[in-house]
Structure 1
Amino acid sequence: MSMLIKGLKYIPPCQSRFSRQSIDAIVNEQYKTLYSIVQGCLGDHRMQLVEPREKEGFSSLKRILYELQSKKLPRKLGIRARRERKVVRSIIKILRQRPDITVRRTDKSKVFYVGNATVFAEKASKYMIETEAYQEISNDHCILSENLHLVTTLLASLSKKGAINQEQHKNMSPKTVALELAHLHFIPKPHKPDTPLRPIVAAIHIPATEVSKFLNDLLAPVFLRVARKTTFINGIDLVRALEKYVTDGQLKPTTLFITFDVENLYTMIPRQGDLEALMQFLERHLHNKKIGTLRIDDIMKMARLVLDTNIFTYENKYYRQIRGEVMGSAFTQTLANIYMLDWKQKLIQDQDADKEIYGRYIDDVFMTTNSTFDQVKEKLENAHRKDPNIRISYSIQSTIDFLDVTVSNDNGQLKTTIFHKPAAEPYILPYTSDHPRNVYHNIPYAALSRAARICSNVEDFDIERIQIDLSLLLNEYPPSFVSKHFHRFFQLNQAMPVLERLDSDVYHEIHQNLLHSPTRKEKQLQETTEDLDALPEILQKKNLGIRMSCMQNITSKVDQD
């Protein structure tokens, strides 16, 4: 169990040393992988290897790989590598002998789930029956071949009429050598009571995969521009909105917070409703009723194709998903978001009129209100009745949890702290994992930055600091390492008085500075959404950028390893 506790991201060290392959074969395999990544990056930017330094990069890459594989392991590292290899092999052997045990990765977590295989299968069967989202179909004909024909026919038609260019046609065309039907599996959600399951359809090699990716890349930026004002990127975004709400004088002693989420969102949305919502969205938000050379009718045909080919295998049977979209298809979240945007419009308009907060994160919604409990409940029940396919569960309180934030109204005073799910493990990437060292240097700093952004007072921040300290120690980080990087955080942010004596004035300053500094994800989103008239990146000509960036990134990673 000690190995499984290390989590999904843990990498046992130096396991290639025990391979039956020769060093030359291992190096060639690693080189081909890295070469393919670099070439793909260069190809994306329409670049070729023309400068001497670029060509030298590839030749030195193979040399570095060979040196790393040939280098003798230190004695202690060699002992540890052999011991962990033995543990992994013993786990595999035990699981082969115990079909009653199932081991799965978990939803929204980095730990493993170990449970009873029969109970797991019963939960999966119950889910399929209750959602009524899946229809068994006969296998008296080649479904894969039919889907391939549907995809190639549509792409040929779009290419012929000039809706897509030759490069887009090539990129979306199925790679016939790797084609296979999708298959359904379930992953547990241990952060929820009774550990329910989430259905995932592994659809990476189905004929319509690239069409689904193209639609997502095409429409996700459009959706983000439309819905940015009502979208929370993370818990930090929520805290900013709440502090502005306080500054605007909206927080009263009687203010309540509301959260609700949609149950089984991706399998409950009606197919026709999905398509109608998409059509209305496109007609409302596309200039000249098209994106680039793609007209609304072309986009709708591609969306129908993705939904029509939602066929997969499960327990040696064929199924078609007849409601909602498959979890595992790239276009799924964007299509569900568009449907729910239409469904929530009345709530959004009401909140805006009352100068209250409305914000969503996928299928979870946060709102503020100065109405009475009964008035809010009636409003939510009306939303509930709007579509019989959508079931929501809601909570109305003065203290509430949303994303990773606990929000409290303490008699008109806002308090925000970090929320830890009851079932959440204190997991951080183990220090003994075979990752580059710079990964570990960033973990304490990032954890403290998040705590300082979210916690509204210094006492709660200090409690979180202690929690981070314990989590690092539990995951085998040396105390001296933890102390060094904690001091680095406070020194760089000129906040040593917070560490030394919990100075609340200094903490308030660091809280505000970090809270209003955009995260990397927010900077990326801002670039995507700031130009409302910009074409989605997938339709833009690639920026040539810095010619050597791909090669430098790869070689620096090899050097760190």
Structure 2
Amino acid sequence: MKEKIQDYEQQLNAKKQTLNDFTSNAEEMIQSYVQAYGIKPLKIKRDLKVALLNYHYDSELLKRQYLHEQPNEYQIQIAKTTSRPLPSLDSIQVSIPKLDDNNDQRSIDKYEKIIHRNKLDVMTIKILEAETKFYQCSKRFDDELSTMWRNHRELVKNKGMPTQLTDIINQRLTIMSDRWRDIYIYRIQCFSLASYYNDIDPMLERIGFSSSLLIDTSHRLIPEQLKLLNRGPTYVPPYQLSVSSLNQSIDDIIKKQYASLKHQLNNVFSQYHVNIALSMEIQQKINDTFTSLFSIPIPSNIQQRGLHEKHLVQSIRFAFNKENLILRRTADNKNAFYLGNRKEFETKANDYLMKSHDYIVFSSKYKCNELKEMIESMNELLMRLKTNKSISDNFYHRLLIDASKVKLPYLYFLPDVSKNNEISMVPIITSAYSATWKIGKYLNDLLRPFVNKILQPTTFRDEPDFIQRLHQYVHIDKRLRSTTLFCTVQISNYYALDLHQHMIDTVGCFLQDNLSSNKLEQLTTQTIKNLLHIYLYYNIFYYKNLIYKAAKGSPTTMALSETLSTIYLFVWESRITKELRLEMNYLEDQIFFTWNNSNEKELCRFLQTLQDKDSPIQFQQRIASTVRFLNVHIDNLKGELSTRIYHQSMMGKYSLPYVVGHSKQAHSDRFQSALIRAVCCSSSLDDFHLELVTLELTCLTNGYSLQFVETQVEHFFGYFHAHEMRYSKDPTMYDRFRKNWFSYMTMQYQLTAKLHQFNDKGQLIQINYHCEQGPRCEFNEQFHRLWSHYFHQHPTLSKEKTKVLLITKQQYSLNTLLAEEKPANLIQ
């Protein structure tokens, strides 16, 4: 070794002498490089070998010390049993197909997605096998240890365990634990070094776990750019506000972050007539708290990373413009990007508009006068309602449209990648501050609580609610037979069901059938229909150089659109249930019912008749003993119900959801919800464990730490003090565990209903603020403490009267940074 070192030093000195500009700085850089790339990995490996030798040496000493105490045969057997090593686990083997050099990037990306999913599926199975072995070994160890201590306490002959021997056994167990910990740390360090220095095997790099980018075109993006895009649209590059304001002080940055919160608080205080002196005092207290908690210097390494990713985002934008590429998040609301050719994407979008009957051209180009005339026409209709005493003067001024504040909505498309080998277009129309925005919001606030009350018996809240009602049908009502068929109906035109006038008439019929009088609050049914006329007939938007009008439905971004579709489907479904004498339940665009009539063909004929009658509702049905509804796979196994989680698309199984706001907190909440959904929807313990591992892998492969995953899982099992359920194979214990979570969900539905009541009465205040770093939870606690202190006796802002939701936002997600800016198009 010494001879090799001397040889290398001689070579280095010889090279130094041949370089004229070799300086001390260059020598320091070489030393740092050698330390990082050469010596540090070797040192880590050497330290592990030394530690393993020490563990082996100490273990051997303890073994000899144990034998020196002259143990009997039983005591020797106890030492062997408690020190037995874990059984080895087979390494994961995944066959990786060889790709032909002639394959284009689309084919390569497709194969990589298949490899990615297969690899994770195999890992899921292997992890389950490992956990099963771990549970078996752990249980056997605990049983043998328990037997040993019972024999010792009961003074069984020749089965006592002196303190000297138990101390030696405990020391050896500690050594075994430390040994495995050091091996684990070594593997983590090796992977971290390889990742940091980009020294990962090229094949492993190509099939890396992250798969949040679907590539549908050729490109020249470099691997580093693809890595960033693979993090998905939800990813937030660190400290983008700070790195964009490097010339500003921390106080200036904090002031900029606080500005939005300050503005919202001023609006709340003004709305609830809080006196100026008190509002200024509260603002100062909250400002001081915000500043003290979030004025934290950025660590230099994180700042460098944030600056690097900022430049990387800029380079990606430049590449998109140069190569005519387009980037969109996928329409399935997963944390996934679609990368395509702009020309091809826009051709598909244009074809969609040409073939669609949902939109008509309103104007061939942007004409400000025509848009102003439209708004004047809307205001005239409101004036007529006021003149006819249909609405009050205050209500009229509340809905009056100010053309100077109206923004013309625009249309954009998201790609639907759920079908293999086919990319379809999903239209999205913005709605905030449009001409119909105020009327739409008011009508939804008016109709939604009433609609929810009427539809509650036939509407599923979510998957756990669906499973609970299915259990009622099967286990309490005893209506499931071996011949029972499950029927599902998927509505494909949910947001554009019918022409506007038919939609208005249907809503009118719904109100007449369900209202005890002719009024809903202060408005008559006819007034509601008149307001709906204004809302539906004046929804316009622009795309390219054309302005369009909606012929059916309304923007999906408006909450009223879903309310109207729900009413229409309820009326349509009511006619079917009366004719067939069955019960239908649904959630949004999916309907579920059971069929116990032996004549299956009668049902098929009836549903086909509905399709053939030129019905505006387009749907696909499935009738079988095995169906998929929402995200649940349902089986009728000869009169026994079996359910489990169903994953729809190839990318969806191991993808995180697309979220807006504080992504880590949102994914934490979604992870807990997914765990609850898994236990409620999995009738089999094995299916639950499979889904649990799938969820864990989903978070890990999308960049979240093992600590994050373990914290979430521990919280889930610890909620009902059921930590043993994580590896248990006891079906009786699992049934109790499921019942606890069903009861929990019932309680959550009640709390959600109370929150909706607060919102319906205008007693829900939502306040958001921007936060890049710092103790967010501590700030939220102090904010609510200050609020309670100042408003505990306030007639409207007290804790009993008003619910305040404080929401954290992160404004620089990849979707925000890489999305194309749209013109505001104010109508002036």
Q: CA deviation at 1:269?
A: 1.2
Moved more, 462-471 or 362-371: 362-371
Report the counterpart of residue 337 of structure 1 in structure 2.
566
Matched, 1:312 2:541: yes
Report the counterpart of residue 232 of structure 2 in structure 1.
7
Measure, in 2, the Cα distance between the counterparts of 1:313 and 1:77: 41
- The residue type equivalent to 2:335 in the other structure is K
- Structure 1: where are the runs of 5+ without partners? none
Report the counterpart of residue 256 of structure 1 in structure 2.
485
Measure, in 2, the Cα distance between the counterparts of 1:481 and 1:535: 33
Matched, 1:286 2:515: yes
Per the alignment, do residues 484 and 212 of structure 1 end up closer, same or farther by CA in structure 2, a change over 3 Å counting?
Answer: closer
Report the counterpart of residue 677 of structure 2 in structure 1.
450
Per the alignment, do residues 361 and 473 of structure 1 end up closer, same or farther by CA in structure 2, a change over 3 Å counting?
Answer: same
CA contact (8 A) 1:359 1:366 kept: yes
Per the alignment, do residues 168 and 457 of structure 1 end up closer, same or farther by CA in structure 2, a change over 3 Å counting?
Answer: farther
- The residue type equivalent to 1:177 in the other structure is S
Measure, in 1, the Cα distance between the counterparts of 2:448 and 2:717: 38
Q: CA deviation at 1:555?
A: 10
Bigger relative contact order (CA 8 A; separation at least 6): 1
**Alignment equivalent of 1:201, drawn from 421, 429, 440:** 429
Measure, in 2, the Cα distance between the counterparts of 1:93 and 1:183: 24
Q: CA deviation at 1:496?
A: 2.8
Measure, in 2, the Cα distance between the counterparts of 1:447 and 1:488: 13
Measure, in 2, the Cα distance between the counterparts of 1:229 and 1:552: 30
Query: Which SS does the other structure have where 1:318 is aligned?
Result: strand
- The residue type equivalent to 1:203 in the other structure is S
- The residue type equivalent to 2:605 in the other structure is E
TM-score by length of 2: 0.60
CA contact (8 A) 1:240 1:516 kept: no
- The residue type equivalent to 2:506 in the other structure is A
Measure, in 1, the Cα distance between the counterparts of 2:557 and 2:282: 36
**Alignment equivalent of 1:127, drawn from 342, 352, 366:** 352
CA contact (8 A) 1:271 1:324 kept: yes
Larger Rg: 2
Matched, 1:506 2:733: yes
Measure, in 2, the Cα distance between the counterparts of 1:434 and 1:168: 33
TM-score by length of 1: 0.87
CA contact (8 A) 2:463 2:630 kept: yes
- The residue type equivalent to 1:111 in the other structure is A
Count of aligned pairs: 548
Query: Which SS does the other structure have where 1:71 is aligned?
Result: coil
Q: CA deviation at 1:303?
A: 0.5
Report the counterpart of residue 282 of structure 2 in structure 1.
57
Measure, in 1, the Cα distance between the counterparts of 2:376 and 2:545: 23
Matched, 1:390 2:642: no
- The residue type equivalent to 1:463 in the other structure is L
Query: Which SS does the other structure have where 2:745 is aligned?
Result: coil
Q: Could you tell me the percent identity over the aligned residues?
A: 24
Measure, in 2, the Cα distance between the counterparts of 1:274 and 1:452: 40
Per the alignment, do residues 359 and 318 of structure 1 end up closer, same or farther by CA in structure 2, a change over 3 Å counting?
Answer: same
Per the alignment, do residues 68 and 195 of structure 1 end up closer, same or farther by CA in structure 2, a change over 3 Å counting?
Answer: farther
Report the counterpart of residue 420 of structure 1 in structure 2.
647
Matched, 1:85 2:314: no
Matched, 1:544 2:777: no
- The residue type equivalent to 1:446 in the other structure is S
Q: CA deviation at 1:489?
A: 2.1
Per the alignment, do residues 543 and 339 of structure 1 end up closer, same or farther by CA in structure 2, a change over 3 Å counting?
Answer: farther
Report the counterpart of residue 589 of structure 2 in structure 1.
363
- The residue type equivalent to 2:351 in the other structure is K
- Structure 2: where are the runs of 5+ without partners? 1-225, 765-793, 811-828
Report the counterpart of residue 136 of structure 1 in structure 2.
361
Matched, 1:224 2:452: yes
Measure, in 2, the Cα distance between the counterparts of 1:154 and 1:170: 13
Q: Deviations over 1:394-416 (max 9, x none)?
A: 11121111111111111111111
**Alignment equivalent of 1:181, drawn from 408, 424, 436:** 408
Report the counterpart of residue 151 of structure 1 in structure 2.
378
Query: Which SS does the other structure have where 1:344 is aligned?
Result: helix
Per the alignment, do residues 182 and 429 of structure 1 end up closer, same or farther by CA in structure 2, a change over 3 Å counting?
Answer: closer
- The residue type equivalent to 1:342 in the other structure is V
Report the counterpart of residue 25 of structure 2 in structure 1.
none
CA contact (8 A) 2:331 2:426 kept: no
CA contact (8 A) 1:135 1:319 kept: yes
Measure, in 1, the Cα distance between the counterparts of 2:752 and 2:705: 36
Report the counterpart of residue 190 of structure 1 in structure 2.
417
Which residues in structure 2 correspond to 1:224-243 (within 5 Å)? 224-243=452-471
Measure, in 2, the Cα distance between the counterparts of 1:315 and 1:152: 28
Report the counterpart of residue 479 of structure 1 in structure 2.
706
Per the alignment, do residues 190 and 376 of structure 1 end up closer, same or farther by CA in structure 2, a change over 3 Å counting?
Answer: same
Which residues in structure 2 correspond to 1:8-47 (within 5 Å)? 8-20=233-245, 22-23=248-249, 26-42=253-269, 46-47=272-273
Per the alignment, do residues 535 and 284 of structure 1 end up closer, same or farther by CA in structure 2, a change over 3 Å counting?
Answer: farther
Moved more, 200-209 or 319-328: 319-328
CA contact (8 A) 2:333 2:658 kept: no
Measure, in 2, the Cα distance between the counterparts of 1:136 and 1:436: 39
Moved more, 95-104 or 19-28: 19-28
Measure, in 1, the Cα distance between the counterparts of 2:236 and 2:509: 47
Per the alignment, do residues 518 and 429 of structure 1 end up closer, same or farther by CA in structure 2, a change over 3 Å counting?
Answer: closer
Q: CA deviation at 1:310?
A: 1.8
CA contact (8 A) 1:187 1:199 kept: yes
Measure, in 1, the Cα distance between the counterparts of 2:622 and 2:347: 30
Query: Which SS does the other structure have where 1:187 is aligned?
Result: strand
